[in-house]
Amino acid sequence: MNKTKSANQPSPSPPCLRASVVKNGFQWTKHSRSFRRFRSSFTLLVCVTILGCQKDPQAAIDSYPSKTVTVVCPWSAGGGTDRCSRFWAERLQTKFENPFVVMNRTGGSGAIGHSAVARAKADGYTMGMVTVELSMMKQMGISDLTFRDYECLMQINADSAAVVVRKDAPWKNLQELFDEIKSSKEKLKMSGTASGGIWDLARVGMLDAAGLDIHSVTWVPSKGSAPALVQLMGEHIDAVVVSVPEAMPQIEAGELRLLAVMDDQRHPDFPDIPTLKEEGCDWSAVGWRGLALPKGTPPEIVAKILVQCEEIAASEEFKEFMGKNGFAVVIRGPEEFTKFLEEQESLWTPVIDLAGYAQK
Amino acid sequence: MFAELLQPSVLIPWFLAMLLGIFVGATPGLTATMAVALIVPISFHMSPMAGLAMIIGVSFTAIFAGDIPATWLRIPGTPASAAATLDGFQMAKKGKGNFALGLDLICSSIGGIIGVATLIFVAPQLARFALKFGSYEYFWLGVLGLSMSAMVTMGQTSKALLAATLGVFISTVGQDVVSNSQRYTFGSIEALGGLHFIPVMIGLFGVAEVLRNIGQSEALGEPTGEADSSSLISVLPEVLRHKWCVVRSALVGTVIGALPGAGADVAAWGSYGIAKSSSKTPEEFGTGTIEGVIAPTSANNAAVAGAWIPALVFGIPGDAVTAIVLGVMLVHGIKPGPMLFEDGGDQVRSIFAIALVTQFMLVPCGWAGVKAFGLIQKLPKRTVLAGVLVFSTVGAFAINNSMFDVYVMLAFGLIGFFMEACGVPVVPMILGLILGPLVERELRAGLIASSGSFEPFFMRPISMALVFLLFLAFFAKPMWKLISRRLFTK
Amino acid sequence: MNDMEAEQQESHFNSIGTAAFGLFLILLGAGIVYFAKDIRVFSFGNNDPGPKAVPLGTGVILFVGGVLQIVVAFAREGLLDRLRTKSKSEKQSVTKLKPATARILWMLGTMVAYVFLLNTIGFAASTSLFLVATLKLFGSGWKEAGMTTIVIVAFVYLLFEVVFKVSLPTGSLF
C-alpha cells in the first residue's frame, strides 16, 4: 500500500504505532481531569512506547503473521499467474491461520505489480508473485527493477516456450521451418506478444542460435498469446511462439501442432516433441513464476514463510493444481532461485541487445 | 436434464450466486471478474452441476447489473454499460427509471437467449467466420465504431469528432501496445499502465454529474425523485413493438462478441449506432428514447454469449470473465474444441441448458436488484451525491488497488464537467478511449504484416464489406435525400 | 432554414464554451506534440509507423481543431457580440452564478483534500472527514451528517474489506 516511502527508509512498524495510539487515547480519557497526572502518565507512555518500539522488531517477528498479508499479482485476474497467486494465498492462509489476500496490480508489462512488491514495507506483510518479465524489464528500460530488489523466496513453475504451427502446416519439424525461412522469398510471419515482449525475444534468441538473421521473420505484434493463436488459426500468420500451456487446448483439440519446445528437457505431456537443443539449436526460454518478498524483510520472517512454502510445494494438492492447469512444476529454493535468476539475466541481456531494445 | 437442473440443491445456490452477481456488478469498483473469481472457490465445494450453474449465472448477470447505476446515477458499472448513460439515464431523469430498467432487463434477457441459441446452433460456423478477421478487418471495425461518435451526437459533429480524437489520445498514454515504448508517462511507473477505462469513465460521468447537480440544484435536502411504479408487465408491449430492434441488436451483439478482438462494449455502441441510423426519429436519441435503451442492452448481453463461441470452439477466451469460466470448465473435464459441439455429450448439453435457464433467472434476480437500488432514490439528494463521490473514489481505487487511478478519476471528473459546460459531448470521448487502442494496434500490426502496403486494408473481402458499410453509414442518408428530392422535383 | 436559425441561436449561447474548449485543445495539442519527443522509437525496418504516429496525429488534429473552434466561436457563434452584451448585463449574471460556482469550487477543494488524505490517514478517517464536510456543505444538520457518515463508511468497509477482500487505501501514516 505504501507507495511513497522506499524500502530502505526506516519507518515505525505499524503494530507498535497503532498500540501507542490506542493506549494514548485510553490514558487521555482516564486522566483528563488532572493535567499533571495526564502529563506524567503521558511521559511514561512515551517512554514505554519508545522502549516498546525498540523492542518491537523481535516481537513483530515472533508474532508474525498478526494481520492480513497481501500477495501482489502483477497480472490480471483470471490469468495463469493470478490462478497461481490465489492458490498460494489460499494455502498460506490455511497454514498460517491468518488472512492472505491477493491484490492484482496490473499494467506496464508487469512493471507496476513488480514495483509494488519491491517498494512495499519490508515487514513480511507484502509478498508477490514475480514472473519472467522481471529478468528483462531493466534492460528494456521499462523499470529499474531486477531480482536484486527482492528476497527471492521460491520458484514454483517454469513453462517452456514452444514453436506452434497449424495442423496443416507444410513443415514437419523445426529444421524444415528454418529451411523455409532461409529460402522463402516472402518473409514468414510469426507472433505471440507485442514487439519486444517475452516471446518475441524468445524468437530472436532462437533464430540467432540457429544462425539465422533475426530480421528474416516478420514479427506481427499482438496483444498477447490468445489473440496470436487466433491469428494463427485464421491463417493470418504462419507460426507462433507461446508457452506450452497457453496453446494446450488448441493442441489437444488437434487445431495446432507443436514443432519444438525451447527447454533443456522434453515436455512431459509431449514426449515426442524434440527440444531446440536436440534440433541443434542451443537456446532455451522458459516463462517462470516465483514468490518474492521486498528486499530487507527480516530473515526470520523469510524463514518462517519459507518453511510453509516448502510444505505446500511438496504437497499433493499443489501438484494436482498445477497438473489441472497444465503448468509445469519447477521448485527452486532461495539460493537456487537467486542463482537461476542470475543465469536468466545473463541469458536475456544479449538477446535484448541483439533485438535492438536495449536501453542506451 | 432440466429436471436435474431444477432441483433445489442446484437452484438455490444458483439463484444466490446470481443475486450476488447483480449486487457486485451494480457497485462501482466491484467488477464481474471479481464476482466470478469469488464464486470459483465456493463452486468447487458444490456438485459439478451446481458449481457450473453458479459460475455461468454470475458471468451473465454483471453486464445487466452495470446498467443499473448507469441509469440511476450515470455511473456505468462496465464499459459495456456506458451506452445506458444516454437514454436510460435521461429516462430516469424524467421519472421513468424503473420503466427504463424494466425494458433494459427484459431486453437483456431476450438478447441473452438469442445469443445462447446462436451459440448452440451455429457456434462452429460462426467461430470459423470470426477467424477470417485479421488486423485489417479489426482496424475497419474500430474505425466503424469511431464513426459512431459522429452518429450518436448529431448536430455537433465537429465537437464530437474532436472529443473522439481526445479519447484516442488518452488511450495512447502509458505503454505502447505494439512496441512497449513509454508514452507520456513522465517517468511514473504507475502511468505505465495507462489511464484505466473505469476511473476515466467514473470521473467523466459520475463525478461530473455530481458537480453539475451541485451547481444547479438548490434543494439538496429533498429526495432525488419518486421512483415510478412501472412493473415488468408494463414494459412488455413496448418490447413487442420494437421486437425487430431487439432481435437485430442481439444478432449484431452475438457476432461482434464472437470476434475475439472485440467485446460487449463495441457491440453495445455498434447496435446503438445501427438503431439510431435506422430509426425514424434519430434526433430523439439521447433524450430518453425506448430504442436507445433497448438496442445497447440487447446487444451487450448477447455479446457475452457470443464471447463463448471462440472460447468453446477454440479454447480462446475473449475477456477475463470468459477466461475464468473456461478455466473452471477445464477443471470439470470439459475440453473446448470443434468436437465439443458434435459429440460433447451430457456435460455440454447441461452447460447450454444452464446458460439458457440463466437468461430466464436473470429477470427475477435483476428486478430484485433494480428495486433494491431504486431505494436510494428515496434518500435526500445530498446523501446520494456524497455517497456517489465516496463510491467513485473507492471504486476507482479498487479496480487496480492504485491511488493513481483515484487521481485519474478526479482529473477526469473535472474534464468531464468542463466539457459539458462547454457544450461538448462526452460520449465520443469514451468511444475514442475504447476503440483507440484497437484501431492503433491493428493499423500498425496490419502494416507490419503487409510490409507497409495498404492494399489488404481495402482488397480483402471482409475489409471491402466493412469499408462499404462505413461509406453507407456516412453517405446513405444524404444520398437517399438527394435521390428522393430529384424524384419528387421531376 | 429554420433549423439553421435555431442552431445559430443555440450556438450563440454556447460561444464561450466553444472558445474555452478550443483554447483547451490548442494547449493540449501543443503539449502532445512537444512531449512526443520523449517517446522512444525502435526502428527495425518493419514498416511500423511507430509509437509516435498516433499521438502526434491526434495532437495535430486537436491543435488545428482547437484553432477552428475559436474561429467558429468568433465568426459563426458571435462571441464578440456576446462579450459586448455581457459586459452590460454583467452584474446580473454574476450575482446569479456566484453561489453555484462557489459551491462547485468548494466541492472540488474538498475532493482534492479527500484524495490527499486517503493517501496519508487511510480510508476510514479521511472518508469520515470528507463526508461530514461535504454534507455540511450541502446543508445537512450535524445529526444527519453524522449518521450518514457512519452508515456509508461502515457499509463500504464491510463490503470491500470484509466481504470481497478488496483492500482500501490504508494511508502511509499507519
pLDDT interval class at A22 (50, 70, 90): very low
pLDDT for A329 beyond 80: yes
Find the mean pLDDT for residues A312-318: 94
The residue ranking higher by pLDDT, A78 or B182, is: B182
Contact between chains at B401 and C167 (C-beta distance less than 8 A)? yes
Whether B330 has its CB under 8 Å from any CB of chain A: the answer is: yes
Answer whether B290's CB lies under 8 Å from B94's CB.
Answer: no
- Residue B93, pLDDT score: 85
CATH number of the domain at A83, please. Answer: 3.40.190.150
Residue among C166, C167, C170 with most chain B CBs within 10 A, to mutate: C166
CA distances from B149 to A249, B159, B266, B268, B473 (A): 39, 10, 12, 13, 12
User: Both A202 and A255 in a single domain?
Assistant: yes
Residue among C38, C41, C165 with most chain A CBs within 10 A, to mutate: C165
User: Both C84 and C7 in a single domain?
Assistant: yes
User: Both A179 and A249 in a single domain?
Assistant: yes
User: Both A144 and A191 in a single domain?
Assistant: no
pLDDT for A314 beyond 50: yes
C-alpha cell at B326: 473456461
| Partners of residue B168 in chain C, C-beta under 8 Å | 54, 58
Tell me, yes or no, whether A52 lies in a domain: no
Q: Which of A350, A360, B136 is nearest to C42 (CA)?
A: A360
How many residues belong to chain A?
360
| Partners of residue C170 in chain A, C-beta under 8 Å | 1-2
Of A1, A4, A196, the CB nearest to C170: A1
Per DSSP bridges, beta strands A286-294 and A150-166 are antiparallel
Answer whether A321's CB lies under 8 Å from B41's CB.
Answer: no
User: Both A201 and A294 in a single domain?
Assistant: no
* Residues spanned by the domain of A330: 70-157+287-355
User: Both C68 and C143 in a single domain?
Assistant: no
User: Both A211 and A305 in a single domain?
Assistant: no
Of B134, B177, B449, the CB nearest to A223: B177
Location of C-alpha cell 433445489: B8
pLDDT for A11 beyond 70: no
The residue of chain C with its CA nearest to that of A20 is C174
Q: What percent of chain A has pLDDT over 90?
A: 59
Whether A300 has its CB under 8 Å from any CB of chain B: the answer is: no
- Residue A43, pLDDT score: 55
User: Both A229 and A318 in a single domain?
Assistant: no
ipTM: 0.87
Contact between chains at B189 and A112 (C-beta distance less than 8 A)? yes
Answer whether B319's CB lies under 8 Å from B82's CB.
Answer: no
User: CA dihedral defined by B437, B440, B441, B446, rounded to 10 degrees?
Assistant: 150
Q: How many domains does chain A have?
A: 2
User: Both A255 and A294 in a single domain?
Assistant: no
How close is the nearest chain C Cα to the Cα of B261, in Å? 20
CATH number of the domain at A244, please. Answer: 3.40.190.10
- Residue B1, pLDDT score: 63
User: Both C77 and C117 in a single domain?
Assistant: no
pLDDT for A9 beyond 90: no
Which helix H or strand E contains B311, and what residues bound it? helix B290-314
User: Both C22 and C100 in a single domain?
Assistant: no
Which neighbouring-strand residues pair with A258?
A164
Highest mean pLDDT: which range of A48-52, A124-128, B75-79? A124-128
Is the preceding omega at residue A65 within 30 degrees of 0, hence cis? yes
Whether A223 has its CB under 8 Å from any CB of chain B: the answer is: yes
Answer whether B92's CB lies under 8 Å from B71's CB.
Answer: yes
Tell me, yes or no, whether C170 lies in a domain: no
Indicate the burial class of B370 (C-beta count within 10 angstroms; 0-12, 13-18, 19 or more): buried
Answer whether B79's CB lies under 8 Å from B318's CB.
Answer: no
How close is the nearest chain A Cα to the Cα of C170, in Å? 7
- Residue A244, pLDDT score: 92
Find the mean pLDDT for residues C44-56: 85
Tell me, yes or no, whether C65 lies in a domain: yes
pLDDT for A185 beyond 90: no
Provide DSSP, A59-123: HHHHH-S-SPEEEEESS-TTSHHHHHHHHHHHHHHHHHTS-EEEEE---GGGHHHHHHHHTS-SS
User: Both A221 and A171 in a single domain?
Assistant: yes
- Residue A6, pLDDT score: 39
User: Both C74 and C11 in a single domain?
Assistant: yes
The residue ranking higher by pLDDT, C26 or A103, is: C26
Find the mean pLDDT for residues A298-304: 94
Tell me how far apart the alpha carbons of residues B303 and B395 are, in angstroms, rounded to a whole number. 25
Find the mean pLDDT for residues A316-321: 92
Of B174, B177, B327, the CB nearest to A194: B177
Tell me, yes or no, whether A151 lies in a domain: yes
Sign of the C-alpha dihedral computed for residues B35, B36, B40 and B43 taken in this order: positive
pLDDT for A313 beyond 60: yes
- Residue A29, pLDDT score: 41
State which of A228, A262, A296 marks the end of a domain: A262
C-alpha cell at A88: 498460494
Q: Which of A353, A346, A332, A348 is nearest to A152 (CA)?
A: A332
Tell me how far apart the alpha carbons of residues B293 and B107 are, in angstroms, rounded to a whole number. 9
Q: How many domains does chain C have?
A: 2
Give the CB-side neighbour count of residue C161, counting CA atoms within 13 A.
Answer: 13
pLDDT for C108 beyond 80: yes
pLDDT tens digits for range C122-156: 899 999 999 999 998 888 889 989 999 999 999 99
* Residues spanned by the domain of C15: 2-88
State which of C88, C123, C144 marks the end of a domain: C88
pLDDT interval class at C6 (50, 70, 90): very low
State which of C88, C118, C139 marks the end of a domain: C88
- Residue A54, pLDDT score: 46
Contact between chains at B447 and C7 (C-beta distance less than 8 A)? no
pLDDT for C51 beyond 60: yes
State which of C45, C66, C88 marks the end of a domain: C88
Which helix H or strand E contains A258, and what residues bound it? strand A256-262
- Residue C174, pLDDT score: 55
Q: For every residue of B89-137, which 3-state class applies, written as one string? A: HHHHHHHHHHHHHHHHHHHHHHHHHHHHHHHHHHHHHHHHHHHCCCHHH
Location of C-alpha cell 534492460: A139
Q: Which residues of chain B have pLDDT under 50?
A: none
Chains touching chain B through at least 3 C-beta pairs below 8 angstroms are: A, C
Mean pLDDT for all residues in chain A: 84
Whether B339 has its CB under 8 Å from any CB of chain A: the answer is: yes
User: Both C63 and C138 in a single domain?
Assistant: no
Contact between chains at A356 and C44 (C-beta distance less than 8 A)? yes
